[in-house]
Amino acid sequence: MFFAGKYTSLFLPLALACAASLFAGGCTLLPGRDYDPNYRQPLGPEATARPTPEAAAAGIFKPQTAFRPAEPVIPYTLFVKKDNYVPALYEPPEDCYLGAYILSDKAINYDIAVFEQTTGVKHALYQYHMLLDDPLPANWILECISKSAVPYIVLKPRDPAQPFDRAALAAAAERFQAFKIPMFIQFYPVTNKYSAEDYTAFFKEARALFKVYAPLAAFIWGVDSETVFGCKEYYPGDEYVDWAGIKIYEPLNSGAYPNVFTALDYFYFQFQMKKPIIISELAVSHFSGTDHAYHTEAAAREINDMYRRISEAYPRIKAIIYMDFNGFEVQSGKASRDDFSLTREPAVLDAYLNAAANGRFCGELAQPEVPAPDAGARTQLYKSPFTAWRIGGEFYISAQSCEADLGVKGLGRYSASVMIDSEAYYSLSAVMPSDGYELQIDTDNQCIVYGW
């Protein structure tokens, strides 16, 4: 893929890293229009021009000049490269951190060194779950430091019925000042048990306190894939978040896995322009409590496919935390009926080792550094939610893609368009600016990269 190489630009000074969260993106793709995960672009035999009110008002729809293609129509994924990007705290330019939760895997004695020896993979992040008023896990943090790993701590309320305990919050933040080290803190993963107004106010208070007591910590806002479609109202704002996270569990049901990419795509397209994205919990079952059967080969394929697809098609996903636990041995809600562990089944372990060997995944934290004077602007790759189509030797994109991805407006002056299922598409070569922009085309993977 196009973003498999390494950028050579250095990071900004650590003192400026927190300001990276102010990077102005926009999760709304067009004014008044959000990404719709259920929207598809089928290729039907009939095409009747019906402009939307928005398109008609903008003067970007010209059905009288469109034609239906006679040649095969081939879908392509469009990636857009943009410059002047300011990275978030500890965000790697292109790589994706490997991380794991191992504190419920007694087969490796909950030990980082044993886990890495078993998997043969160095991990950058290790995760720990604690309640807001728990003491800080000092010994575990020291173990992470001794293994050159970064602690990733998930903070949850003691009492879900009364989660907004400000005294407990202040005391918890103060405890973190004992360690002046890089750290990831995921604060209060979103649930629908709280009102959005109360949740965002409390999150903002937490961010302010942790900036004082744990200034080297990257602050993560996270959601569950099962409730992701209502998450936007719980987002506290760019200035309070360094990374955006999503939890993805894949239990088995009659030997099949759920389609997690609908939820992932929704979250990804809403937040890729705002923040680097972390899969804060990823778990793939190989033993189902539903049919009480092993599905190790299916799990191996799913792990390989998940990591491959992320490495190839999701450049804004910059970290993955794998949840290495057996749900029959721990209490973890719905997940307790499945075994998600990595280290007990050779086929599953081999699949993870193979997946982690991809050159995009890394096990070392990127340290913020002062950029060289001649380093130039940092670039960042984004994935368009809109499909591009290849017809013969030409590529066509929608009016939405022209505006949201290329920043091209006033399409009324372009008359060479095709109709695909009642929607007008414009020649990419005709609408793209001529000054310094170029296309990179990967016909094998059906991808296009547009940018400088």
What is 96-362's CATH number, 3.40.640.10, 3.20.20.80, 3.30.930.10, 2.60.40.650?
Answer: 3.20.20.80
pLDDT of the residue at 253: 86
pLDDT of the residue at 246: 98
Structural tokens at position 301: 């394929």
Q: What are phi and psi of 372, to 5 degrees?
A: -65, 150
- H/E stretch holding 146 reads helix 138-146
Q: Cα–Cα distances in Å, from 243 out to 102, 166, 285?
A: 22, 23, 26
* Contact of 431 with 396, CB cutoff 8 Å: no
Q: Is 107 helix (H, G, I), strand (E, B) or coil?
A: helix
* Contact of 80 with 384, CB cutoff 8 Å: yes
- CA 109/CA 308 separation, integer angstroms: 29
pLDDT of the residue at 415: 60
Pairing of strands 438-442, 417-420: unpaired
pLDDT of the residue at 142: 98
Beta bridge partners of 247: 224, 281
Single pTM value for the model? 0.83
The series of mean pLDDT values per 10 residues for the chain, 452 residues long, is 40 32 32 34 32 36 50 92 91 96 95 96 97 97 97 96 96 97 96 92 98 97 94 96 98 90 97 97 93 94 97 97 92 68 96 96 80 61 95 92 88 76 88 80 94 78
Q: In the chain, what are the domain boundaries?
A: 29-85+379-451, 96-362
pLDDT of the residue at 386: 95
Q: Cα–Cα distances in Å, from 175 out to 144, 187, 216?
A: 18, 15, 14
- CA 190/CA 336 separation, integer angstroms: 20
Beta bridge partners of 76: 388
pLDDT of the residue at 177: 96
Burial (CB < 10 A; 0-12, 13-18, 19+), residue 250, is: buried
pLDDT of the residue at 329: 85
* DSSP, res 339: B
* Contact of 31 with 52, CB cutoff 8 Å: no
Q: Is 282 helix (H, G, I), strand (E, B) or coil?
A: strand
Q: Could you tell me which residues come within 8 angstroms of residue 198 by beta carbon, excluding any fewer than 6 positions away?
A: 164
Query: Letter for the amino acid at 386?
Result: F
* Contact of 395 with 428, CB cutoff 8 Å: yes
pLDDT of the residue at 368: 64
